[in-house]
Amino acid sequence: MDTDESPRGAGVATFLALTVAISSLFYAPIILTGNVAGAGGLYVAGLMWSPGIAAILTTILRRDDFAAFGWRDGGWAWGDWRWNLRAYLIPLGYAAAAYLGVWLTGLGTFAPPESVAAIGEKLGWSGLPAALVIAGYVALAATAGMVHGTAFALGEEIGWRGFLAPRLVRRFGFVAGTIVTALIWAAWHVPILLFADYNGGTPWWYSLSCFTLLVLGSSFTLSWIRLRSNSVWPCAILHASHNLFIQTIFNPLTGPSGAVTPYAIGEFGFALVVTLGGVAVWCIAHRPDPAHA
């Protein structure tokens, strides 16, 4: 990897050092509590914004141009709505395919009564028909939930795809640059995966293996849309949509079908690795020119 002094390094070492330092402020309380949702989600919010803050500080220290993050026309403009819409729909596609496979093969059950009842009680909709609870919950999460999710995901994406990925793709090419980005991104999650409750409840080596492969597939998808759109906004939306459909919608609507279910579902199971891997292969086959990074 290039150093900060290298013209192509563009502050990568500084960015990574700052990311580790800032993230550590939030790793500590998450690990001490053992809960990523601790402090009402404030710890994880700070953690997710650590790469973004590190990227902003690196850019200020180096007196670089913030437009390189992928802000449309050099500003903070929202960008092309067509890329943003694609970014929203892509995770819905690969997540729906994965969970449909889980439900059809009996690796998990769709919307068991106890899960629907828990959702209805949480929303204050107890007593409503199950179909209405499911439809209302999905509609609410898929719309209002995106506001909250994008605010969190933007912090990560300013760092990983706004700052880091374009520099590594320019240096190593689309495939190798994306793999290096993915390995860094996966490693950044390791402390909360191993020492807190950000895992699938399966053996650590299994959760870590599936998660790393999932991050690899996600990184190709995110790098592809970052370079194609020349904007960081679709990356933030895709990241938020991924978290929303998997963590907020499909996981809660999937019931256990024996001990195998945790090995199949979520970000630590094999089903999403398969479907997202297919998306990654497509992105590699249609990879953009690294010169656009």
Residue pair 273/210 in contact (Cβ under 8 Å)? The answer is yes
Question: Where does residue 166 rank: exposed (0-12), middle (13-18), buried (19+ CB within 10 A)?
Answer: buried
pLDDT in tens, 248-292: 999 999 999 999 999 999 999 999 999 999 999 999 999 987 666
Question: How high is the pLDDT of residue 2?
Answer: 44
> What is the average pLDDT score of the chain?
92
Per-residue pLDDT at 197 exceeds 50: yes
Confidence of residue 144 (pLDDT cuts 50, 70, 90): very high
Confidence of residue 10 (pLDDT cuts 50, 70, 90): low
Question: How high is the pLDDT of residue 202?
Answer: 95
Confidence of residue 81 (pLDDT cuts 50, 70, 90): confident
Q: Map residue 9 onto helix, strand or coil.
A: coil
> Taking residues 207-212, what's their average pLDDT?
98
- State percent of the chain over pLDDT 70: 92
From CA 113, how far away is CA 116, in angstroms rounded? 5
Per-residue pLDDT at 198 exceeds 60: yes
Q: Rg of the chain's alpha carbons, rounded to an integer?
A: 19
Which residues have CB under 8 Å from 116's CB, separation 6+? 130, 133, 134, 253
Question: How high is the pLDDT of residue 7?
Answer: 43
Q: What is the pTM of this model?
A: 0.92
